[in-house]
Amino acid sequence: AQSVAQPEDQVNVAEGNPLTVKCTYSVSGNPYLFWYVQYPNRGLQFLLKYITGDNLVKGSYGFEAEFNKSQTSFHLKKPSALVSDSALYFCAVRDSNTGGFKTIFGAGTRLFVKA
């Protein structure tokens, strides 16, 4: 069965510093991996996805993520954090072996960027 883990409930970083939000996954086939961000009282907003090809994926608002097959990870990164990046971040996975139709979301990581 497919699963996804976000090992940190909260990540704290100072503005201007690089940030990393961790995600690991488990699937039987090839993974389709997604990152979403959620601001208070809002729905999830798509940031980026990995389907195939280049392991480094660039997305919205300067975010990027690196797919690492050997470590089954898809960590979200940004070179320089902004206070406005403070939000709840969700990693999600789909398993190509199941037709890729069921999305499993992680529990979320709250990012707090301090000015």
Partner 1 sequence: EAGVVQSPRYKIIEKKQPVAFWCNPISGHNTLYWYLQNLGQGPELLIRYENEEAVDDSQLPKDRFSAERLKGVDSTLKIQPAELGDSAVYLCASSHSGTGGAETQYFGPGTRLLVL
Tell me which residues touch partner 1 (CB under 8 A): 32, 34, 36, 41-46, 49, 51, 90, 92, 94-96, 99-103, 105-108
Nearer to partner 1, 99 or 115 (CB): 99
Could you give the CA distance from residue 48 to residue 31 in angstroms, rounded to a whole number? 14
In the complex, minimum distance from the CB of residue 16 to partner 1, in angstroms, rounded to a whole number: 29
Nearer to partner 1, 53 or 115 (CB): 53
Pull the structure tokens for residue 41. Answer: 């009282």
Could you give the CA distance from residue 78 to residue 76 in angstroms, rounded to a whole number? 7
Nearer to partner 1, 51 or 82 (CB): 51
Helices and strands of the chain, counted as H and E runs:
0, 12
